[in-house]
Structure 1
Amino acid sequence: MSKKGWIYIVLGGLALGIIFVMEYNKPKKVNWFPSFVSHHKIPYGTYVLNDLMETYFPNRIQQVQKPPFELLTRTDSIQGAYFFVNESVSFEEAELNALLEWVEQGNHLFVASNSFERKLLDTLNLDIQNVYNSGQLEPIFHYQLVNPKLQSPKVKYTKDYYTTGFDQIDTLRTTILGEVQAKGDSTETIKKYVNTIKQTFGKGEIVLSAFPKAFTNYFILKDNNLEYTAGLLTYLPKKGPIFMDNFHKSGKSFYTSPMYLFLNTKEFKWAYYLALIGALIYIVFEGKRKQRAIPVVPPLKNQTLAFTRTIADMYFEKGELQLITKHKTEYFLEYLRTKLHVSTQNLEDETFLKHLAIRGNSTEEEVRSLMGLIVNLRTKDHITEIELQNLNNKIQAFKANVDGK
């Protein structure tokens, strides 16, 4: 290799090394995925919430990994509160019925979600709506608990372009716990929407919050938002276990892929990338030098047509025109059964002839002439070359009509 070529290789290697160093030292991107998983420390995980729950409710927190239906139906007489928080909590019908029956017996259900099951809303005589902040470019929502005893300050949240509020409320059965405020239009008018409610259900209670991000790491650790989240947690019962759901989550509670260790650790990830790049370079430079020429193997010729012609010539030379006619009609009838999907048991049936004419794109006269010829030749003991040629021409004409030629 020339001196100039080595210079290009060295410069390319230096450029590649600089790129690797810059990428390695680049700050890690923040993962804003709304996982709501208990051990995730990303902004929208709930690691801080579960730590607070252990502090506020010592020896009462039970982490549940199984579906609620399985817990409530296979465990004898459990009592307490069931806590759900996720971007969207969607219960199946049997699961929701089991939860409602459990609440009726004197237990508590706390659900924080952007959307709720329609059957649950209908049961509680509720409805929801999307709340948009159309008064300014930056999305700003203010959340506040309405109970004056909690002395909860108004908190600001700017990460969502819309939020959820309760549109229709049964005021006789429902207690409003929290509101969200947003500018409704360009007139700077502040509108209030209900986003947290409590309702008695049987002997128990149900609390619904349409702002699940109030329980995430980012929200709790930002400014003084902790007081708002703590105020919501005060509506959990003072006694009894609290079952923290880990089944209805947007993120994975654990990772099953063996590549997660490599791709989630910076050192292993770049070691893996370097190994792939090294393998690619080896293939590019060594593969051309050592790879042997691949011989050209000609494909096998299709001898079916030649074989068929040989057999046909043999029959024709022996003068076995009747046998040729028999094979030709049998192959043609098989063609009708497989190609046009018609039954060939009665070739003179009027219904058969009409259906065959329609499917074969031919006239009834042409079809009746062809079928009549086949029936006639079947009964003859001696067949001439002219009759065989006439049969072949009619069959070829019929197939041409089928193919639209």
Structure 2
Amino acid sequence: MTGYRKYVALIVVLFAALVLLDYFRPKPVDWSQSYARKEKMPYGTYALYELLPSMFKGVEIVPVREPIYNQLQNAAMAGNYVFINKRFEADSLDINRLLDFVGSGNQVFIAAEQFTPYLSDTLHFKTDIQQSTHPDSTALIFTSQPQQNTFIYPPNNNTFYIKVKKQDGHVALGRNKAGQLNFMKVPFGRGYFYINTVPLAFTNYELISLKQSDYAATALSHLPVQPLYWDEYQKEGRLDDQSILRVIMRYESLKWAYYLALAAIVLFLLFKTKRTQRVIPVLEKPRNTTLEFVQVIGNLYFNNGNPGNIADKNIAYFMEYLRLHYHVSTSTWDEELRERIVAKSGADATLVAEVFDLMQSIRQSKAISDQTLLLLNIKLEDFYRQTSLRPTANL
């Protein structure tokens, strides 16, 4: 028992050391493109979201964790709706509600490299990848500003550009040095869509590490100072959809079943650390297999098709029974033996006479039939039933 506890303690210590080592070791940089407002990784948008109150002074900044259709169910919602993602995803219902939102005099700002066809087909544009990745050709400028400052990013960060399929009031707001459009304003109804294909320019890495925060500030300055709705749904989903146990925690019965299962596992581990006694096997009582043995032997003789042999065994057993229980000599089957059997056993005299006459006939015959064997068995059974003592097995 002591040795067993030593092994358990050693495993616990090693596991704790592994946890501490993993906790204190330097964390590798996560370069995944999350665009989430709470992420401080290079491609999160924590820095930009913290700067929004200074860009839109005196108005409300609202993070949105609902689909576009659900969020815009409120007809009183007005202002700027901002999306910054690698790919702008929305179904036809979302896009129709978004078009109604812009058509009623609001603004939607979308920075993404690719767009859902429901929106791009409606606004008559598509995005493509620039073949040349030379820094000079991928540098960004604002054509809408009198002083055209140049913003230089890593070439692979801004290789997408816009192709306008049909001019319908599209206004160019920004291009790269190669002259390809990457930022535009599209009128729709009484409002505007702002389409940008450089979402990485709005991330922490570009704003802090490359010190290029002016690009994001300039791009968002095209929006009027109104309440701003910052989309987080396309990055993180609904607010209550983050936990892998969300379905269990949503229902009271499942939650308590989960807690009960955890408690049972803990109790099981605690009690299993103690020495468990070896299971004591259940010993069955000795069985008297004499009857089964006799039945097997009887079936063997019967299946061999020799009823005479079986009859001889029955007669021999009957004689032994008489000698054992009534203490008579069975060497001579005379009238005196029959009278003594009747007197000692209490059996019917006629039955005793029939039994002895039938046994005498069988002894004198060379072969007997199955019917004769059956008759002998019936007579012997009648004799045993009439006597006070009955054998434990029948042949």
- 8 Å CA contact retained: 2:141, 2:174: yes
Alpha-carbon distance between aligned partners in 2 of 1:243 and 1:250, rounded to the nearest angstrom: 15
Distance 1:134 1:173 in 2: 30
| CA distance in structure 2 between the aligned counterparts of 1:212 and 1:135, rounded to whole angstroms | 19
User: Which residue number corresponds to residue 176 of structure 1?
Assistant: 172
Structure 1 segments of 4+ aligned residues over 3 angstroms from their partners: 11-25, 132-136, 168-172, 250-259, 289-296
Select the residue among 159, 166, 171 that pairs with 1:163. 159
Determine whether 1:231 maps to 2:200: no
Secondary structure at the aligned position of 1:73 is classed as coil
Q: How many Å separate the matches in 2 of 1:92 and 1:80? A: 22
Alignment of 1:296-335 (within 5 A): none
Report deviation, 1:150: 5.2
* Distance change >3 Å, CA 16–CA 143, structure 1 → 2: same
| Residues 224/294 of structure 1: CA separation in 2 closer, same or farther (3 Å cut) | farther
Q: 1:67 to 1:293 in 2, by over 3 A?
A: same
Identity over the aligned pairs, expressed in percent?
27
Matched residue of 2:54: which SS? helix
Match for residue 35 of structure 1?
34
CA distance in 2, matches of 1:150, 1:252: 42
Q: Judging changes above 3 Å, is the alpha-carbon distance between structure 1 residues 216 and 146 closer, same or farther for their aligned structure 2 residues?
A: same
Per-residue Cα deviation, 1:266-294 (whole angstroms, up to 9, x for no partner) = xxxxxxxxxxxxx9xx99x979x757479
CA contact (8 A) 2:133 2:159 kept: no
Equivalent in the alignment of 2:191: 204
Name the SS for the 1:214 alignment partner.
Answer: helix
Q: What residue is the counterpart of 2:314 in the other structure?
A: none
Secondary structure of the 1:220 match is helix
Superposed CA offset, 1:74-131 (max 9, x none): 333x332211111222122122111112212221111111211212112222121123
The 5 Å alignment of 1:9-88 reads: 23-63=22-62, 64-76=64-76, 78-88=77-87
Q: Distance in 1 between matches of 2:48 and 2:240?
A: 19
SS in 1 for 2:97: helix
Q: 1:249 aligns with which of 214, 229, 235?
A: 235
**Does structure 2 conserve the Cα–Cα contact (< 8 Å) formed by 1:69 and 1:98?**
yes
State the AA in 2 paired with 1:243: Y
In the alignment, the residues of structure 2 paired with residue 95 and residue 33 of structure 1 have an alpha-carbon distance, to the nearest angstrom, of: 26
3-state secondary structure, aligned to 1:230: helix
**What SS is found at the alignment partner of 2:31?**
coil
C-alpha RMSD over aligned residues: 4.3
- Partners of 1:46 and 1:215 within 8 A in 2: yes
For the residues of structure 1 that align with 2:218 and 2:190, how far apart are their CA atoms? 23
Contact 2:106 2:191 in 1 (8 A): yes
Q: Which amino acid aligns with 2:75?
A: T
Counterpart for residue 201 of structure 2: 214
Shift in Å, 1:67: 2.4
Which letter does structure 2 place at the counterpart of 1:65?
A: R
Q: Distance in 1 between matches of 2:280 and 2:128?
A: 67
| 2:146 partner SS | helix
Whether 1:142 aligns to 2:139 is yes
Structure 1 stretches lacking a partner, 5+ long = 1-10, 182-190, 260-278, 297-405
- Counterpart of 1:96 in 2: which secondary structure? helix
Given that 1:140 and 1:157 are in contact with CA atoms closer than 8 Å, whether structure 2 keeps it comes out as no
8 Å CA contact 1:128–1:165 kept in 2: the answer is yes
- 1:12–1:171 Cα change, 3 Å: same
TM-score scaled to structure 1, two decimals? 0.53
Kept in 1, the 8 Å contact 2:53–2:61? The answer is no
Q: TM-score, normalised by structure 2?
A: 0.54
Q: How does 1:362-401 map to 2 (within 5 A)?
A: none
Q: Distance in 1 between matches of 2:192 and 2:108?
A: 6
Q: Distance in 2 between matches of 1:134 and 1:47?
A: 28
- CA distance in structure 2 between the partners assigned to 1:38 and 1:113 by the alignment: 16
Offset of 1:144 from its aligned partner?
2.5
Distance 1:15 1:177, change over 3 A: same
Cα 1:219–1:22, aligned 2, differ >3 Å: closer, same or farther? Answer: same
Residues 36 and 250 in structure 1, CA contact (< 8 A), matched pair in contact too: no
Q: What does the per-residue CA deviation read over 1:284-334, in whole Å, with 9 as the maximum and x for residues that have no partner?
A: x979x75747979xxxxxxxxxxxxxxxxxxxxxxxxxxxxxxxxxxxxxx
Distance 1:294 1:205 in 2: 83
Deviations 1:41-60 (A, max 9, x none): 22222221111111111232
Q: Which runs of 5+ in 2 are unaligned?
A: 1-9, 246-265, 283-395
